[in-house]
Amino acid sequence: MPYTYDYPRPTVTADAAVFRDNGSGPQILLVKRGNPPFEGMWSIPGGFINIDEPLEDAAHRELEEETGLSGIDLRQYGTYGDVHRDPRHRTITVAYTGWIGNSQKEAVASDDASDCHWFGINEIPELAFDHHLLIADAIAFARKEGWF
The DSSP-derived string for 96-144 is EEEE--S--PPP---TTEEEEEEEETTS---BSTTHHHHHHHHHHHHHH
Q: CATH no. for residue 18?
A: 3.90.79.10
- Please report the beta strands in 22-90, taking only residues with DSSP state E, as ranges in sequence order: 26-33, 42-43, 46-48, 75-80
Residue 127 counted as domain residue: yes
Confidence check: pLDDT of 1 > 70: no
Residue 61 counted as domain residue: yes
pLDDT digits (tens, 9 = 90+) for 63-74: 999 999 999 999
The residues, ordered by sequence, that sit 6+ positions from 24 with a Cβ below 8 Å of its Cβ are: 120
Residue 93 counted as domain residue: yes
| Banded model confidence at residue 106, pLDDT cuts 50, 70, 90 | confident
Residue 2 counted as domain residue: no
Residue 4 counted as domain residue: no
HSE of 49, CA atoms in CB hemisphere, 13 A = 21
Mean pLDDT throughout 84-88? 94
Which three-class secondary structure state does DSSP give residue 141? Answer: helix
Give the number of domains in the chain: 1
What is the Cα–Cα distance from 132 to 125, expressed in whole angstroms? 9
Residue 76 counted as domain residue: yes
Q: Which CA distances in Å does 54 have to 21, 40, 50, 57?
A: 29, 29, 8, 5
β partners of residue 41? none
Confidence check: pLDDT of 100 > 90: yes
Residue 45 counted as domain residue: yes
Q: What residue numbers bound the domain in which 20 lies?
A: 11-143
Peptide bond into 36 cis (omega under 30): no
